[in-house]
Structure 1
Amino acid sequence: MPIIAPSLLAANFLNLEAECRMLNESEADWYHLDIMDGRFVPNISFGPMLVEFFRKATTKTCDVHLMIVEPGNFAEQFKNAGADILSVHIEACHHLHRNIQQIKSLGMKAGVAINPHTPVSALSDVLADIDLVCMMSVNPGYGGQQFIPHTLEKIKQLRKMIDEKGLKVQIEIDGGVTLENASSIVAAGADVLVAGNTVFKSADPKNVIARLKTC
C-alpha cells in the first residue's frame, strides 16, 4: 500500500484551512510541499512561512521538496518551520554529501530529487546516506503535466539498486500521477505517490486519495 502525499501546490490557496481539514480527515499520509525559487525552476511558489502554517495545521508528515539553488542556505529555516523530510535536487547541489549531512544533523530525513534527464546511476554514491529519492516524472516547475512514460523503467532500475544494496530508501514519484497510472507506478517499485491536480481538482478528493491508497 503506497504512501499518498498530496501536493499542496495544487490546493485552493483562497481556502487553505478547508483544504488542510480535508487532508487531515482523509487517508493521506504526508503533506508534499514544493518550494520553488524562480531560478532552479521557472516558477515561484512559497517559502518557510507557509510551511510553518501547514505544520500547525496537521500532525501528518511534512515532506518538503526544495526546487531551489543553494539549498544549504535554507535548510535550517525549513527545519524551524516544521519540515520532517527535506529533499534537495542533485542538479542544484555542488556538494551533495555535505547537504545530506546538514539535513540529517538538523534532525530531518534526507531526500535527493532527480530530474527526468538525470540517470538513476547518479545516485549510487549517496543511496546509503539518504532516506528517500524524489524522482521527477515531469519537468519540474509546474503542476498538471503529463507523466513521462520512461519513468517506469527508471523506477525499476532504482528499485533494483536499492534492493541489491539492502537499503530501505523510499522511492517517491512526483508529477503526473493519476488514478489511471498509479498502479503501474507502484508495481514498478514506487513507495510514495505525490498527487496534485488528481486530488485537489477532483469532485471528491478524499475518495481519490482512498483509491490511490489501494494501488
Structure 2
Amino acid sequence: MAVQISPSILSADFARLADEAARVAGVADWLHVDVMDNHFVPNLTLGLPVVEALLKAVSTPVDCHLMIEDPDRWAVGYAEAGAKSVTIHAEAAKAPVRTLRAIRKEGARAGFALNPATAVDAYEDLLPEIDMLLLMTVEPGFGGQPFLDGVLPKIRRARSLVSKHGLEVWIQVDGGVADETIERCAEAGADVFVAGNAVYGRDDPAGAVQALRALAEGA
C-alpha cells in the first residue's frame, strides 16, 4: 500500500485558502476539502462556489468530502468542477450506487464514507462501486477532536474485505490523525490519511506532511 497524505483545509486559514494550499504543494498527495451544510453535521463550512474558485488556484488534486444532506443531488457538481475525488456518506445517500457511478462517469474517484458507529460489513457488496472507503475516526462535523481507537478494528475489517474481493480500494481515515495515531491507522490497514491540525497547526505544514508520511510508511 502506498501511503498518501491529504491535508485538510478545515484547519487552514479560510481567508487565505490558496496560500494555505501552496504551503503543502509538492509534498501532499491530496488537498482535503470538507463540505459541511449544518444539517447532516452541526457545522457550516463552504460549498461548490468556493470549491470551484479553489480548484482554479491550486495544483494539488482536490479530495471533496461531502458531509451534507442529499449528496445524490450535489456530488456530481463537484466532480464536474474538477475535484479528482468526491466522497459521499452512507448515512446520507439515498441512491449511493447511482451517485457513485455518476461521480466516476465525470472522471473523479468515487469515495464512500462511514461514521464511527456505521458497520462496514453492511456495505461489502458496494465495494466494487467505490474507489475509496473513508472511515471516520471521529464524529464528523468539527476538526480537532480526539482520535477514536474503537474504529481500528473496523479499519482492519475493511482491509480484510477489500483483500477478500481482490479490489484496489483505498482506505482513508479522517479525524484525529496525528503523529501519535497515524502508525496505528497504517498498521490496521489504512493507506490514505487526512490530517488537519497535525499539518496546519504546525509552523511548517510541509514538514508536518513529510513527518506523517514517514511514520505511516514505517508502521
Do both proteins adopt the same fold according to a TM-score greater than 0.5, normalized to the shorter chain?
yes
Q: Gaps (5+ residues) in structure 2? A: none
Q: In the alignment, what sits opposite 1:4?
A: 5
* CA distance in structure 2 between the partners assigned to 1:169 and 1:43 by the alignment: 29
Aligned 1:13-52 pairs, distance under 5 A: 13-25=14-26, 27-52=27-52
Secondary structure of the 1:32 match is strand
CA distance in 1, matches of 2:209, 2:162: 27
* Shift of residue 30, structure 1, vs aligned partner: 0.1
2:162 match: 162
Amino acid at match of 1:17: A
Q: Is the 8 A contact 2:76 2:99 kept in 1?
A: no
Offset, 1:202:
1.1
Q: Hey, what does 1:203 align to over in structure 2?
A: 203
Aligned residues: 214
> 1:74: Cα distance to partner?
1.2
Tell whether the 8 Å contact from 2:72 to 2:95 is kept in structure 1 after alignment: no
**CA distance in structure 2 between the aligned counterparts of 1:86 and 1:45, rounded to whole angstroms:** 16
How far residue 81 of structure 1 moved from its aligned partner, in angstroms, is 2.3
Q: State the alpha-carbon separation in 2 of the partners of residues 154 and 76 from structure 1.
A: 28
For 1:70 and 1:101, the matched residues in 2 are separated by: 16
How far residue 112 of structure 1 moved from its aligned partner, in angstroms, is 0.3
- Give the match's secondary structure for 2:87: strand
1:4-44 CA deviation, whole Å, 9 max, x = no partner? Answer: 0000111011222321221114x111000011111111111
Q: Which runs of 4+ in 1 moved over 2 A?
A: 14-18
SS for the counterpart of 1:199 is helix
**2:65 maps to what in 1?**
65
Question: Judging changes above 3 Å, is the alpha-carbon distance between structure 1 residues 101 and 17 closer, same or farther for their aligned structure 2 residues?
Answer: closer
TM-score w.r.t. the length of structure 2 is: 0.94
Q: Shift of the alpha carbon at 1:145?
A: 0.2
TM (norm. structure 1) is: 0.95
Task: Name the aligned partner's letter for residue 13 of structure 2.
Answer: N
Separation in 2, partners of 1:63, 1:159? 21
Task: Tell me which of the two structures has the higher relative contact order, counting C-alpha pairs closer than 8 angstroms and 6 or more residues apart.
Answer: 1
In the TM superposition, what whole-angstrom CA distance separates every residue of 1:148-171 from its partner, at most 9, and x where no partner exists?
A: 001111110100000011000000
Counterpart Cα distance in 2 of 1:165 and 1:79: 27
Partner residue in 1 for 2:138: 138
Query: What's the C-alpha RMSD, in Å, of the aligned pairs?
Result: 1.2
How far apart are 1:57 and its partner, in Å? 2.1
The offset of 1:181, in angstroms, is 1.1
Q: Any gaps of 5 or more consecutive residues in structure 1?
A: none
Partner secondary structure for residue 193 of structure 2:
strand
Q: Secondary structure at the residue paired with 2:49?
A: helix
CA deviations over 1:94-121 (Å, ceiling 9, x no partner): 2211111221222211110000000111
CA apart distance, 1:49: 1.6
1:105 alignment partner in structure 2: 105
